[in-house]
Amino acid sequence: MWTSTNKKLSLFLGIIFTIGIILGFIFLIYLDEANKEIIYLNINEWLQNLNTSHINNIISHIAILSSLFILSLFMVGIPLSLFFVFYNGFSIGFLLMALIDIFGIKGLLYGLVYVIITKGIYLFLALLFVLALIKIAIMFLKALISKEKINKDSLSKLLKRIFICIAIILISDVILYFGGTKLINVFNFLIF
């Protein structure tokens, strides 16, 4: 059951994510031509190598999510979790704008397909993960400030949600490792 706190936190995270996307677009627009050329060369090289490589995010996702989880228990991770949401939005906006600059509307379509395939499940579950982390931090903060007891049922539900999110993200990463590039290559006709 969604309470008003969940809605407010979800809206807040959605706003941070959207601001990140917008700033990612704007950042590329204001780069000088020399830096844009380097980025375009790197993207073209990445697209050429996509046929022979794997999408391997398993270790980085384990490191990021476990670090955020541990740091959030000490309240240090909450600002980092918010930055994590912003950064993911920024990187998506930057990638989409770079593909638009290189390939036009076809680049936008390809970029959207790429983001949905490679980051769709991850971003959705990462937002649920961060939402649960913030709620746990709020519970600990209330217990620390007002000396009220932590509701163990709520805490165990949030911890289960966190571990389920991590497990599904890792399963998704394994599937992407073995089949992600094959699925993305189906959409290569959009840009080649």
What does the pLDDT read at residue 3?
Answer: 57
Instruction: Give the pLDDT of residue 1.
Output: 45
Q: Given this model, what pLDDT does residue 4 score?
A: 66
Q: 57-105 pLDDT, tens per residue? A: 999 999 999 999 999 888 888 999 999 999 999 999 999 999 999 999 9
Domain borders along the chain are 13-29+59-190
pTM for this prediction:
0.88
Per-residue pLDDT of 2-53, as tens digits, reads: 556 688 999 999 999 999 999 999 999 999 999 999 999 999 898 888 877 8
Distance of CA 106 to CAs 29, 44, 189, Å? 18, 14, 9
Question: What contacts 170, CB < 8 A, 6 or more positions away?
Answer: 58, 61, 62
- CA-nearest of 27, 167, 4, 146 to 86 is 27
Residue 86: the pLDDT is 97
* Encoded tokens for 175: 């599937």
Whether the pLDDT of residue 110 is over 80: the answer is yes
